[in-house]
Amino acid sequence: MYGTIRHEIRIHRTAADVWALAGDATKLHTWFPGIVNCTVDGNIRVITMGSGMPMPEEILVIDHAQRRFQYRITAPLFVHHRGTIDVIELTDDECIVVYSTEADPRTMALVIGGGTAGALTELKRQMEDTTGTTTGPATGTMNDTAELTEADH
């Protein structure tokens, strides 16, 4: 049984612009609060948490046509993990970003989900900033769903 959580947020910016940041495996730390660095070597990414703890990940998918980034945390803390970021075009100048997580142990989906919600808020703030600065609160509504039920493996 996996725990699952999904957050989504509308961003008033082209899907291509948002994907340029959200789909770049080397730039996660620039918009995900609590992550201070990340390095990529082939399909392995190592993120460094603010505590200094490294967290190894395997990049599963970078699909530029669908604007989908998928990865799994390979740290022994997890029996299973898969994170998915989708950037979906709504109009010429608006998109929705969906960040989904599934995890075993199930409760880890909720832990990670708190971080992904903050990450989407920060991504929106950066993408909609028209002043050229990255200060100030984000605007808009975040939608999320969470389940601690059995999911298909």
The structure's pTM equals 0.85
Residue range 18-47: mean pLDDT, rounded: 97
Domain locations along the chain: 3-147
**Band of pLDDT at residue 1, cut at 50, 70 and 90:** confident
Distance CA(107)–CA(82), nearest Å, equals: 14
Distance CA(108)–CA(102), nearest Å, equals: 8
Q: Do you find a cis peptide bond into 105, omega within 30 degrees of 0?
A: yes
Which pLDDT score is estimated for 30? 97
Which segments within the chain are labelled E, that is strand? 3-11, 35-41, 44-49, 54-63, 68-73, 80-91, 94-104, 142-147
pLDDT exceeds 50 at position 149: no
pLDDT exceeds 70 at position 140: no
Q: Where are the alpha helices (DSSP H) in 75-142?
A: 107-128
Q: What is the DSSP letter of 131?
A: S
pLDDT tens string 50-96: 999 999 999 999 999 999 999 999 999 999 999 999 999 999 999 99
CB 75 within 8 A of CB 54: no
Buried b (16+ CB within 10 A) or exposed e, 58-78: eeeeeeeeebbbbbbbeeeeb
* Second-level CATH architecture of 3-147: 2-Layer Sandwich (3.30)
pLDDT tens string 80-139: 999 999 999 999 999 999 999 999 999 999 999 999 999 999 999 999 997 765 543 343
Structure tokens at 92: 């010429």
Which pLDDT score is estimated for 131? 72
